[in-house]
Amino acid sequence: MSDPVKRSTFYGRRQGRPLRKKATELVETVLPKIQITLGDPENIVPYKLDEMFGRSGQETWLEIGFGGGEHLAWQAEHNPDVNLIGAEYFINGVASLLGHLDDNGAENVRIYRGDVRDMMPFLPKNSLSKVFILFPDPWHKARHNKRRIVQIETLDLLADLLVDDGELRMATDDMGYLQWMLERTVPHPLFSWQAESKNDWNQRTEDWPKTRYEEKALNKGLKPGYLRFKRLPRT
């Protein structure tokens, strides 16, 4: 799959180790049923989310780069009345999420496999209640910082997609990236940092389960940062 627009990528390799038999079966049989496909980028028609999920009136949440899918699957299981969209480029992560959904029986997830920035123009404005960006690739080298998903341009797009008072959650175990996130989101005119104390950045809320990457970070003695922002009401 090639990007419609030439630009820096925020993801690395597309596939890791070969998929096991069960994972391959899920990718071949289940993924086509819940996979989101792109429309014509030259004539963008927003998705009808009610039709996509086969029901109406539900909130819609988006997770960008869901990794192994632990967080997204947990949210789907514990919020059956919410529609969830997950975007991930890494096929092994997609297969892992499908395995979690197969285990917990959640049917309220749709998957976009690719660069989320290609899909975002097709999402209706003012349609997302929550967006998650959890432990994205930090792209440590300065010359690669432009590949980070958290950019002013991305925040502008998310502000258009989020409903008034909608929530943006971000997390990272890289303190340089945490500072990067804060430097771009705190001054943003359409977001408000929901920090209730000076230590709020290092605490997860009860409805924020750990991810596999977070477990690895904690086992290494790292202290992840957790950020919650609200989309300010439109005037």
137 is in an annotated binding site: yes
pLDDT at 230: 98
pLDDT for residue 73 is more than 50: yes
CATH 3.40.50.150 assigned to 21-231: yes
Query: Rounded mean pLDDT of the chain?
Result: 92
pLDDT at 2: 37
22 φ, ψ (degrees, to nearest 5): -65, -40
pLDDT for residue 180 is more than 80: yes
CA distance 105 to 94: 16
**For residues 168-198, b (16+ Cβ closer than 10 Å) or e, as one string?**
bbbbbbbeebbebbbebbeebebbbbebeee
Pick the catalytic residue from 102, 118, 137, 160. 137
Whether 137 is catalytic is yes
63 is in an annotated binding site: yes
Among 210, 217, 197, 215, smallest CA distance to 228 is for: 197
Tokens 């005037």 belong to residue:
235
Give Cα separations from 179 to 98, 173, 231 (angstroms). 33, 11, 20
Q: How confident is the model at residue 85 (pLDDT cuts 50, 70, 90)?
A: very high
174 is in an annotated binding site: no
- What is the rounded (10 degree) CA torsion for 115, 179, 158, 4? -30
Q: Is 172 helix (H, G, I), strand (E, B) or coil?
A: strand
130 is in an annotated binding site: no
CA distance 155 to 148: 12
Spell out the domain ranges in the chain: 21-231
Select the more confidently predicted residue: 11 or 18: 18
CA distance 229 to 56: 27
Select the more confidently predicted residue: 141 or 157: 157
Per the CB < 8 A criterion, the answer to whether 133 and 177 are in contact is no
Mean pLDDT along residues 37-43: 94
CA distance 135 to 217: 10
Q: What is the value of pTM for the model shown?
A: 0.91
Amino acid letter, 19: L
